[in-house]
Amino acid sequence: LTIGVVKETKPGERRVALVPKLIERLTRRGLKVVVEPGAGAGAQLADDVFTEAGATTGDAWSADIVLTVVPPSIADIERLKPGTVLIGFLAPLTNTDEVAAMKKAGITAFAVESIPRISRAQGMDALSSQANVAGYRAVLLAAQRLPKFFPMLTTAAGTVPPAKALVLGVGVAGLQALATAKRLGAQATGYDVRPEVAEQVRSVGAQWLDLGIEAAGEGGYARELTEEERARQQQRLTEAIGGFDVVITTALVPGRKAPTLVTAEAVRGMKAGSVIVDMAGETGGNCELTDPGKDIVAHDVTICSPLNLPAEMPVHASELYARNLTELLELIVDTDGKLAIDFSDEVVAGACVAGRDEEVN
Ligand code: NAD
C-alpha cells in the first residue's frame, strides 16, 4: 500500500499531514510513503528530509491512502482513484457536496473531527492536538497586540501590575490559553458552562468565574443555552468583562453557530487598548463585533479573529497531527501492511464519512 502526503493548497495553510520522523513507523509495516514535492515546505521540511527518512516524492494523489490537513476540493477528490482511502480534516457537517463527491468517486473517507472522543482514541484526537496549538497561539497574539505587559514587574522605574486575562470556553484550546497566559505572568480567569471545568481551571493556577449558569450537554460538550439563560449570561459577562485587559473566546457548540458571549456593550465597557482574540470566528464568533478572519478596532478595543492559528505554528502542529494520523492508520492497516478496516470498531465507524455502505454490502 502507498500512503500519499499531499501539498496543501489553501492560502496560509503551512501544515503537512505526515512528518519524516513517523515514516519509519509506517515503512516498518511494509507501507510506502509518497510525498508530493514541496508538501513539507511550509513546515520547514524539505523534500530530501522526507526521502532520507524512506519516502519517495511523486504524485501523492494517486496513492492508496491519501493524507491531507484541510478538506480537499471537489476537483482534488475527482483526482482520487476509486477505492482510495482519504484521511484528514474533511468538515463533514458543512462540506456536504464534497462528501457526496467522495461517495460518488468510490472513496472511503475518514474525517478526523468525527473520531469519537473516547480514551482509546485520544492519540488520534486531532481536534485536541490542533486546539492545543491554537490556544497557545491565541495568547501570544493577545500579548503582542496588548499595549501592556502580561507579567507583573517591579523595576526601578516603577511597578507594573499583571495583565488580567479572561478565557471564555475552557475546552482544550481554552485550557491551554489559560495555562499559557499564566506562564506569561498574567492573572488568568476561566469561564465555561460545564461545571466540571472549574477544577481543570484551578489546576493550571487560574481563577474560576462562576456565573451560576450550567449547560452541560451530551458527550462532554456544552448544550445551547435557552433564550433566558443566554440573556442572563450576556448580562453577567458584560459586567465582568470590563475588568479584564484580555479576553480570549473559544466557546463552541457542535453543529451550531457560536454563542455570543461578548456583546457590543461589553466591548464598550472595556478599557481602551484591551484585546479580544475570538477563536470561534469560523462559526460566526463569540463577540458580537467580530469580523471573522480580520483584526479590527472598535471602541478602542482590538478584536482579532484568526481563522487558522495551528497553521501559524506549522512545525509542531504538523508533528502532532501526523502522530494522530499515524495512530489512525495503525488502526486500519494490519501489521502486514494490508488494509483491514473494521467497521464494527466504534472509532473506525465514527470517523468514516464515506465508503462504509459499499464495504458493508
Ligand atoms: P469545544 O471546542 O467544542 O468548545 C469549547 C468550550 O466552549 C467547551 O468547553 C464548551 O463547554 C464551551 N462553551 C460552549 N458554549 C458555551 C457558552 N455558551 N458559554 C461558555 N462556554 C461555552 O470543546 P473541546 O475542546 O472540543 O472539548 C469538548 C469536550 O470534549 C470536553 O468535555 C473535553 O473534555 C472533551 N474531550 C475529550 C477528550 C477525550 O477523552 N479523548 C479529548 C479532548 C476533549
**Index of the ligand 1 atom closest to the CA of residue 216:** 11
Q: How far apart are CA 325 and CA 15, in angstroms?
A: 13
Q: How far apart are CA 283 and CA 150, in angstroms?
A: 29
- The cell for 173 is 484550546
Would you say 238 and 263 are in contact if contact means Cβ atoms under 8 Å apart?
yes
**Index of the ligand 1 atom closest to the CA of residue 259:** 18
Q: How far apart are CA 34 and CA 44, in angstroms?
A: 18
Q: Looking at residue 156, what is its pLDDT?
A: 98
Each residue's pLDDT tens digit, 120-168: 999 999 999 999 999 999 999 999 999 999 999 999 999 999 999 999 9
Q: Is the pLDDT of residue 360 over 50?
A: no
How many CA atoms within 13 Å lie on the side-chain side of 314? Answer: 18
**Index of the ligand 1 atom closest to the CA of residue 251:** 7
| Residues known to be catalytic | 117, 122, 125, 128, 221
Q: Is the shortest distance between the CB of 125 and ligand 1 below 6 Å?
A: yes
Q: Looking at residue 115, what is its pLDDT?
A: 97
The average confidence (pLDDT) of the chain is 96
Q: Is the shortest distance between the CB of 169 and ligand 1 below 6 Å?
A: yes
Each residue's pLDDT tens digit, 58-113: 999 999 999 999 999 999 999 999 999 999 999 999 999 999 999 999 999 999 99
Q: Looking at residue 218, what is its pLDDT?
A: 87
Q: Is the shortest distance between the CB of 101 and ligand 1 below 6 Å?
A: no
Each residue's pLDDT tens digit, 29-66: 999 999 999 999 999 999 999 999 999 999 999 999 99
CA of 214 from ligand 1 middle (Å) equals 13
Q: Looking at residue 220, what is its pLDDT?
A: 84
Residue indicated by cell numbers 468525527: 114
Q: Is the pLDDT of residue 359 over 50?
A: no
Q: What is the mean pLDDT of residues 222-236?
A: 95
* Segment 285-294 long-range contacts (CB within 8 Å, at least 24 positions apart): 285/249, 285/258, 285/260, 286/168, 286/169, 286/249, 286/250, 286/251, 286/258, 286/259, 286/260, 286/261, 286/262, 287/247, 287/249, 287/260, 287/261, 287/262, 288/260, 288/262, 288/263, 288/264, 289/262, 289/264
**Index of the ligand 1 atom closest to the CA of residue 222:** 11
CA of 314 from ligand 1 middle (Å) equals 23
CA of 249 from ligand 1 middle (Å) equals 12
* Confidence band for 260, pLDDT divided at 50, 70 and 90: very high
- For a mutational test of ligand 1's pocket, the pick from 120, 124, 128, 170, i.e. the residue with the most ligand atoms closer than 8 A to its C-beta, is 128
CA of 69 from ligand 1 middle (Å) equals 22
Conformational region of residue 205, where left means phi above 0, alpha means psi within -120 to 50, and beta covers everything else: left
Residue nearest to atom 38 of ligand 1 (CA): 117
* Confidence band for 358, pLDDT divided at 50, 70 and 90: low
Q: How far apart are CA 242 and CA 206, in angstroms?
A: 18
Q: Looking at residue 16, what is its pLDDT?
A: 98
pTM given for the model: 0.96
Residue nearest to atom 42 of ligand 1 (CA): 117
Each residue's pLDDT tens digit, 170-196: 999 999 999 999 999 999 999 999 999
Q: Is the shortest distance between the CB of 225 and ligand 1 below 6 Å?
A: yes
Residue nearest to atom 3 of ligand 1 (CA): 252
Q: Tell me what percent of the residues of the chain surpass a pLDDT of 70.
A: 99
**Index of the ligand 1 atom closest to the CA of residue 122:** 41
Q: What are phi and psi of 87, to 5 degrees?
A: -130, 135
Each residue's pLDDT tens digit, 297-330: 999 999 999 999 999 999 999 999 999 999 999 9
Would you say 98 and 74 are in contact if contact means Cβ atoms under 8 Å apart?
yes
ipTM value, please give it. 0.95
- The cell for 35 is 510525498
